[in-house]
Chains A and B, each alone.
Chain A
Amino acid sequence: MKTSKNSENEHVNLEQGILYGVLKQIRANEDQISEKPTLVSVWYCDINPKDTQKIVALIRDHLTDPDPVSLTHIKRFMKVNECIRSILCSLEYIDEGKLINLIHEHCPGVEIRSVGLIEVPRYAPQTKDITQAWSSKYWPLAWKGNPNHQFLNTVEFDISREEEIVSTLLDELEQCIKKSKDSSDCSGVSATLIAENINDSIKLKTIHANTGSKTPYDHSVMKAISSIANNELHRRKHSSQEDGEGYLCHNMIVYTTHEPCVMCCMALVHSRIGRLVYLQGTPPTGGLESNYQLGDRDGLNWKFQIWKWIGQNEVHRLESLVGKESKAINY
């Protein structure tokens, strides 16, 4: 296994985004990354330089944790004429009246010369060059190294458990192919497994196969999502436990044999899953590497990790079951 020089870990190939030689990261590549940032409105205030420490404390103690927008990539202070201009928090977090009350309450005596809104990039830029460009265009940003390299070096997988789950997925697919009437035509055959990480161990929640139906209702991803919902409806009916809330598949892990179609990828975005692992790409219809990179798009309000399983044993086993080509079918 080839490992990059910069990598802190043996199992990480930073250049190619591959972990343990079997999981390849799928993401918008650098020329797909928009040079135009997604912007977010933030509050600034202008203060006398001598009051800077008080504002530092205000931001640290009252304006960082509760803010739904992470501003760690934003430099907080900049000199503007005789003043210090400071970024306080996002507009999403607080309105002007409440903000001014907070300042008066926690920084008595600080002279606020003005308060206003400016737009800054919402997410950390992916390269140093973009950091510089955005810094001069919008507001000074901090470059702390490639955020994706940091991610790859810190993300954790129990790789033998992952292998086990992918095998379970392929077992299910194999059984369904054997059971189906016409096992000669394997186009459109796929399987999806949904799992959840509970106390650091991955528990299987549901597994579904599509035995070759071409109608979109029968895609294995849609069937798996529906079964998570139906199981939970059933549980709530027969249990006195308090109802859960929020998004049902929130942060769950989805394993599927094929790159899902645009519909299924967006269904996973709506369901707010945590990560997706798939084996075979499905050009030209798929919604990830083939089109759009749904799941790794800033504008859609939710992102999930996307990994392609490239471990040769499993890839070959899938090919022997369904063939190599996707024949322009939506999975």
Chain B
Amino acid sequence: MSSDLSGHFHDMALSMFVAYKALLFNETPVACIVKNTKTGEVTSIGYNYTNTSLNGTQHAEFIAMQRFKDQDVNYKDLVVYVTVEPCIMCASFLRQLGIGKVYYGCGNDRFGGTGTVLSVHDDPNLGEGRYESIGGIMRTEGIQLLRNFYIQENESAPQPKIKKNKEIETKEFPRNEFKFSEDQFIENYGKERIPLYNDGVKELTPVFGKGYSVHDLIDISSVKALPYLEQELGEITQDQLNEFCDLFFNIHDNGEINYDKPIRKYNAKKRHLEE
């Protein structure tokens, strides 16, 4: 039981930044990093690649794991930090590989395969490879990235599309529901956080009782150290990292979201951020 979640928040923030780079690349901002628990090393990254590849199966998890295809790797040693709950396809893919564990940011209401729509990760009928999938770390940031993508999509449509989802334009986030057991919650997040389990409104923070903003979680050297990222999605600058951090609300000490903080909105047409 570890109550300091700073390490997990750091790793998830790295994934969030990869997702932002994917957004700059006109892809859906969903991404992951893969960490080897034996060495503590980040050995792969992945990001949604469906637009560029024209292939609807090229989700972040596929891009990340394909890099191990011809390597001798023990998938049980690998942990995936993904910004959005794996879809049903990816949940099955990771199970067939024999992945060690998954941490995800926000749930995937339409396609979530590790607890939201189906529980492919631990369905006893599907044979070997059951794994644990734990959500909620940087939940609001995962959602906020997607909102920036959909806002941009609607605004660049030739005729303004009918709003598919009213929530995209609203500020408030959907309720924070954990799709795993209370025991798993305690084991992963610590006993002192248990009031959050059924709270619905408050968010996890790296240190219990202390708020955070994304600025605190990562710096330029840690994102530059990510494998494959700059080669594949272009150079990373300090400005870019600042712009990324400005997309998000911060979280108060009590876990509530600070909706009063002015945040930026990504604008694809102008290729920069605006207030």
Whether the pair B89, A284 counts as a contact (CB closer than 8 A) is no
Residue of A with least CB distance to B65: A217
Whether the pair B126, A262 counts as a contact (CB closer than 8 A) is yes
Residue of A with least CB distance to B97: A216
**With A216-B96, A232-B54 as contacts: A262 and B127 at CB distance below 8 Å:** no
> Looking at A91, A229, A249, A294, which has the most chain B CB atoms within 10 Å of its CB?
A229
**With A270-B89, A300-B111, A330-B96 as contacts: A249 and B56 at CB distance below 8 Å:** yes
Interface string of B108-146 (1 = CB under 8 A from A): 001101000110100101110000000000000000000
Residue of A with least CB distance to B110: A301
Whether the pair B127, A284 counts as a contact (CB closer than 8 A) is yes
In the complex, chain A residues whose CB is within 8 Å of the CB of B193: none
Contact of A266 among B87, B125, B127 (CB under 8 A): B87
In Å, the complex CA distance between A225 and B162 comes to 31
Whether the pair B162, A262 counts as a contact (CB closer than 8 A) is no
Q: Is A130 an interface residue (CB 8 A)?
A: no
Tell me the count of chain B residues lying within 8 A, CB to CB, of chain A: 30
Contact of B88 among A248, A266, A271, A330 (CB under 8 A): A266
Whether the pair A216, B162 counts as a contact (CB closer than 8 A) is no
Q: Is A93 an interface residue (CB 8 A)?
A: yes
**With A93-B162, A284-B127, A300-B117 as contacts: A266 and B89 at CB distance below 8 Å:** yes
Least Cβ–Cβ distance between B140 and chain A, in angstroms: 24
Contact of B56 among A94, A95, A248 (CB under 8 A): A248
Whether the pair B57, A226 counts as a contact (CB closer than 8 A) is yes
Contact of A233 among B54, B97, B127, B164 (CB under 8 A): B54
Residue of A with least CB distance to B163: A95
In the complex, chain B residues whose CB is within 8 Å of the CB of A13: none
Q: Is B37 an interface residue (CB 8 A)?
A: no
**With A226-B55, A233-B54 as contacts: A263 and B110 at CB distance below 8 Å:** no
Q: Is A57 an interface residue (CB 8 A)?
A: no
Residue of A with least CB distance to B53: A229
Contact of B57 among A230, A232, A271, A287 (CB under 8 A): A271
Interface string of A60-92 (1 = CB under 8 A from B): 000000001000000000000000000000011
In the complex, chain B residues whose CB is within 8 Å of the CB of A300: 88, 110-111, 117
Q: Is B242 an interface residue (CB 8 A)?
A: no
Residues 57-74 of B contacting A (Cβ, < 8 Å): 57, 66, 69
In the complex, chain B residues whose CB is within 8 Å of the CB of A261: 92, 96
Interface string of A216-232 (1 = CB under 8 A from B): 11000010011001101
Whether the pair B56, A285 counts as a contact (CB closer than 8 A) is no
Q: Is A148 an interface residue (CB 8 A)?
A: no
Tell me the count of chain A residues lying within 8 A, CB to CB, of chain B: 39
Whether the pair B127, A263 counts as a contact (CB closer than 8 A) is no
Contact of B118 among A230, A249, A292 (CB under 8 A): A292
**With A95-B163, A262-B126, A300-B111 as contacts: A270 and B57 at CB distance below 8 Å:** yes
In Å, the complex CA distance between A222 and B162 comes to 33
In Å, the complex CA distance between A284 and B111 comes to 22
Residue of B with least CB distance to A236: B54
Q: Is B25 an interface residue (CB 8 A)?
A: no
Contact of A284 among B87, B90, B91, B126 (CB under 8 A): B126
Whether the pair B56, A247 counts as a contact (CB closer than 8 A) is yes
Q: Is B180 an interface residue (CB 8 A)?
A: no
In Å, the complex CA distance between A68 and B90 comes to 29
Q: Is A102 an interface residue (CB 8 A)?
A: no
In Å, the complex CA distance between A132 and B134 comes to 41
In the complex, chain A residues whose CB is within 8 Å of the CB of B208: none
Interface string of B162-184 (1 = CB under 8 A from A): 11101000000000000000000
Whether the pair B123, A291 counts as a contact (CB closer than 8 A) is yes
Residue of B with least CB distance to A300: B111
Q: Is A40 an interface residue (CB 8 A)?
A: no
Least Cβ–Cβ distance between A259 and chain B, in angstroms: 13
In the complex, chain A residues whose CB is within 8 Å of the CB of B118: 292
Report 9 cross-chain contacts, Cβ distance below 8 Å, ordered by A residue.
A91-B166, A215-B69, A216-B93, A225-B57, A270-B57, A271-B57, A285-B126, A301-B110, A330-B127
Given pairs A233-B53, A285-B126, 11 additional interface contacts (CB within 8 A): A68-B162, A93-B162, A94-B162, A215-B97, A226-B55, A262-B91, A263-B89, A266-B92, A267-B57, A270-B87, A291-B125
Binding site for A on B (CB under 8 A): 53-57, 66, 69, 87-93, 96-97, 110-111, 113, 117-118, 120, 123, 125-127, 162-164, 166
Q: Which 7 interchain pairs have the tightest Cβ spacing?
A: A266-B89, A229-B55, A263-B92, A262-B92, A270-B56, A266-B88, A216-B96
